Amino acid sequence: MVDAVIPRGPKPRPRFSRTNIMLYGTLIVVAAYYALPLYVMIVTSLKGMPEIRIGNIFAPPVEVTYQPWVKAWSEACTGINCEGLSRGFWNSVQILIPSVILSIAIASVNGYALANWKFKGSEVFFTILIVGAFIPYQVMLYPLVIILREMGLYGNIWGLVLVHTIFGMPILTLLFRNYFTSVPEELFKAARVDGAGFWGIYFRIMLPMSLPIFVVAIILQVTGIWNDFLFGVIYTKPADYPMTVQLNNIVNSVQGVKEYNVNMAATLLTGLVPLIIYFASGKLFVRGIAAGAVKG
Amino acid sequence: MTSVLVKDLTLKFGALTVLDNLNIDIPEGEFLVLLGASGCGKSTLLNCIAGLLDVTDGEIHINDRNVTWEEPSGRGIGMVFQSYALYPQMTVEGNLSFGLKNARMAKAEIKQRVARAAEILQIEPLLHRKPAALSGGQRQRVAIGRALVRDVDVFLFDEPLSNLDAKLRADLRVEIKRLHHNLKNTMIYVTHDQVEAMTLADRIAIMKGGIIQQLDTPTEIYNRPRNKYVAGFIGSPEINFFEGEVEQGTFATGGERFSLEGYAFQGAATAGAAWLGIRPEHIVSGGSAKDLPVTAEVTVDIVEPMGSDTLAWATLAGVPLRIRMDGQAAVSTGDRILIGFDPARASLFDKTTEERL
């Protein structure tokens, strides 16, 4: 007779159960699938051209060289201009910062007004704004060119900032409105009894309470605007091209040798900003999204 | 002197009438409780008085000043909410002083008022804590303090104790009563809890469907409810109702005939279809029952012992009957017991209008 084990305390969970093998096996496969291209890019960017020509794209570099990175950043040519990606980087920064600040500032006030200071027709206004999110960008490209030209902003960085602000409005307003709607209404009432007005309640009550949603908005806007190619290429002059446009021009240049290592390094450099944002704020991002989702 | 005057107040949301031509006159220093089931318009009325909702028609006067178009902060009211509504990012001190800072009061004066409110409510050790670090009772005290510092004429309470557990609710109820006794401000208090209403109020306004059913002292409402709704709403366990006919000083129902000797009719005694209501605690059982004008013998169906008293269920005239007995009463299911009641303590309501007869 086998000794019967008396069930007591925590139930034993075998580490190599069938469920665990399935679960972790799937996770590893999926992770490898997504990580492999990144691996190839990093490895290639650290190789010299002779080594690349051998053709083993999965092999680690025999001779590690940082020259492709240096070249991509400060020497690669687009047309007659040979300053590398650095110029595009600073252009992107100059476009990014005002666009993010402006769009979030306006959208958060919009969302606050729509959530807490309902006016006649506010629901209709909100619906129109949301419908705006579903209209394809391409429809509005040419009209916007004309509008910017008439305003004297065409080909100017501020014209692009304005475009980014406008196109960020529907989704950001929705985000902020839903978040502010989830803030208990009694808090808003209490502040009114305490004599705070529209801006007083916004700055002193609502803003300090909504850090998570601001983080979400910043992440959305930074990655969205940084990765934008279409608006950048249409609404700016070559001297003001953002990093993405410049990357395209470097990678797709038809003259001379295809420098795969420089292209890889340039692509990684361009993708670095959103990547850093995700890694640095991933937890806050999830928390913000979840906060909005649970409370409605 | 009139403290709060509500005149012909009507509030509509589209086609829905929430408050219908309401009139209340609240003298200075009175503790008025607005009582009713959820959706009766009691909180809406409070929000109208506070100025948080625009009225469709009518006027609101506070301290003889027409404040119908005033902002909430300009009305001389302080409000306490069910969810406390404390500003989570501010300390207790910040919460208390927020309204005063908005009114651009001098710093020294703010400090003095916060200190006084903290002393009255015994929250001095908590002044530098954030609301998240407070218990429910402490939070509600801070919320009361926020109204207190503003030195207002009228306190508005919107179900302030509903989020607290039973024991804390009883404690804070006494504290609010003590606060009213000390401050002597006018207070308007919304609740759906009849115990809070009965214990706190100078007068109770029972509301239903946006209309005040009865506005009276707690004793009057308990003893002489003006209509069947009020009688059924006040009292726990609920009042017993019999459907029948009033004829020649008696009430006939389901084969029984109760004497109405001693019942004080509103006007002349009228015959006709009616409801008779008798509270479970006014039904006497045992030896003293046999001397009462109305007596009957019933079988006990179910016994619910509650310690302080015992609720027995029986059937009389085909209707389930609740009888409230002493907690020590030796009664069990199946017992035949003699019960009786005094018609003077009963209430009669017209069958169709449901108004008191």
For A107-129, b/e burial (b = at least 16 CB within 10 A) is bbbbbbbbbbeeeeeeeeebeeb
- Of A23-32, A48-57, B228-237, the one with minimum mean pLDDT is A48-57
CA distance B127 to B118: 8
Shortest alpha-carbon distance between residue B47 and chain A (Å): 9
- Helices then strands, counting H and E runs in chain A, come out as 14, 0
What are the structural domains, with CATH classification, of chain B?
2-227 (3.40.50.300), 232-350 (2.40.50.140)
Q: What is the pLDDT of residue A54?
A: 85
Whats the size of chain A, residue-wise?
A: 296
* Run of H or E including A116: helix A86-116
Domain total for chain A?
2
Question: What CATH number is attached to the domain comprising A145?
Answer: 1.10.3720.10
Instruction: Tell me, yes or no, whether A8 lies in a domain.
Output: no
Is A99 found in the same domain as A205?
yes
User: Chain A residues with CB-CB distance to B under 8 A?
Assistant: 184, 186-187, 189-196, 200, 204-205, 208-209
CA distance A26 to A105: 42
- Of A14-18, A20-24, A267-271, B347-351, the one with minimum mean pLDDT is A14-18
For B112-125, b/e burial (b = at least 16 CB within 10 A) is ebbeebbebbebee
Residues on chain A touching B72 (C-beta within 8 angstroms): 189, 192-193, 195
The closest CB to that of B81, out of A190, A195, A200, belongs to: A190
Instruction: Tell me, yes or no, whether A77 lies in a domain.
Output: no
Instruction: Tell me, yes or no, whether A94 lies in a domain.
Output: yes
CB contact under 8 A, B85 and A184: yes
Instruction: Tell me, yes or no, whether A54 lies in a domain.
Output: yes
Shortest alpha-carbon distance between residue A40 and chain B (Å): 48
Is B88 within 8 Å of chain A by CB?
yes
CA distance A193 to B75: 9
Is A167 found in the same domain as A54?
no
Phi, psi of B9 (to 5 degrees): -75, 125
Nearest CA in chain B to A196: B102
CA distance B39 to B41: 6
CB contact under 8 A, A191 and B98: yes
Q: What is the pLDDT of residue A294?
A: 40
Nearest 5 degrees, angle CA A197-CA A201-CA A205? 160
CB contact under 8 A, A193 and B52: yes
Most confident among A5-9, A53-57, A95-99, A139-143 (mean pLDDT): A95-99
Is A60 found in the same domain as A93?
no
Is A95 found in the same domain as A53?
no
Nearest CA in chain B to A184: B85
Strand arrangement, sheet containing B2-13: B16-27, B2-13, B57-62, B65-66
Q: 3-state SS string over chain B? A: CEEEEEEEEEEEECCEEEEEEEEEEEECCCEEEEECCCCCCHHHHHHHHHCCCCCCEEEEEECCEECCCCCHHHCCEEEECCCCCCCCCCCHHHHHHHHHHHCCCCHHHHHHHHHHHHHHHCCHHHCCCCHHHCCHHHHHHHHHHHHHHCCCCEEEEECCCCCCCHHHHHHHHHHHHHHHHHHCCEEEEEECCHHHHHHHCCEEEEEECCEEEEEECHHHHHHCCCEHHHHHHCCCCCCEEEEEEEECCEEEECCEEEECCCCCCCCCCCCEEEEEEECHHHCEECHHHHHCCEEEEEEEEEEEECCCEEEEEEEECCEEEEEEEECCCCCCCCCEEEEEECHHHCEEEECCCCEEC
- What confidence tier does A30 reach under pLDDT thresholds 50, 70, 90? very high
Is A243 found in the same domain as A142?
yes
CB contact under 8 A, A205 and B87: yes
Is A95 found in the same domain as A58?
no
Is ipTM strictly over 0.90? no
Is A102 found in the same domain as A163?
yes
Instruction: Tell me, yes or no, whether A55 lies in a domain.
Output: yes
Is A145 found in the same domain as A47?
no
Nearest CA in chain B to A205: B87
CA distance A237 to A234: 8
Report yes or no: A109 and A172 within 8 Å, Cβ to Cβ: no
Residue A225 has pLDDT above 90, yes or no: yes
Best mutation target among A118, A182, A193, A206 (most B Cβ atoms within 10 Å) is A193
β-bridge mates for residue B149, sequence order: none
Best mutation target among A116, A194, A203, A204 (most B Cβ atoms within 10 Å) is A194
Residue A238 has pLDDT above 90, yes or no: no
Q: What is the pLDDT of residue A296?
A: 31
Instruction: Tell me, yes or no, whether A80 lies in a domain.
Output: no
CA distance A36 to A32: 6
Q: What is the pTM of this model?
A: 0.82
Residues on chain B touching A186 (C-beta within 8 angstroms): 81-83, 85, 158
Is A148 found in the same domain as A47?
no
Q: What is the pLDDT of residue B149?
A: 93
Q: Mind listing the pLDDT tens digit for each residue in B239-286?
A: 999 999 998 888 998 888 898 988 988 887 778 899 999 999 999 988
CA distance B249 to A209: 68
Q: What is the pLDDT of residue A3?
A: 66
Q: What is the mean pLDDT of residues A163-175?
A: 92
Whats the size of chain B, residue-wise?
A: 357
Report yes or no: B340 and B289 within 8 Å, Cβ to Cβ: yes
Domain encompassing residue A235 = 86-295
Q: Which residues of chain B have pLDDT under 50?
A: none
Instruction: Tell me, yes or no, whether A79 lies in a domain.
Output: no
Residue A242 has pLDDT above 80, yes or no: yes
Is A35 found in the same domain as A90?
no
Nearest partner of B210 among B32, B26, B8, B44, judged by Cα: B44
- The helix-helix angle for A157-182 and A260-295 (nearest 10°) equals 30
Domain boundary among A5, A33, A65: A65
CA distance A182 to A293: 10
CB contact under 8 A, A196 and B103: no
Shortest alpha-carbon distance between residue B146 and chain A (Å): 8
Nearest CA in chain B to A207: B89
β-bridge mates for residue B216, sequence order: B204
Instruction: Tell me, yes or no, whether A283 lies in a domain.
Output: yes
Is A173 found in the same domain as A29?
no
DSSP per residue over A10-70, as a string? SPP--TT-HHHHHHHHHHHHHHHHHHHHHHHHHHHHTS-HHHHHH--TTSPPSS---HHHH
Q: Which of residues 12-71 of B touch A (CB under 8 A)?
A: 47, 50, 52, 71
Is A163 found in the same domain as A107?
yes
| Three-state SS at A133 | coil
Cis bond leading into B305, ω under 30°?
A: no
Q: What is the pLDDT of residue A50?
A: 87
* Run of H or E including A294: helix A260-295
- The helix-helix angle for B92-102 and B107-121 (nearest 10°) equals 130
CA distance B273 to B243: 8
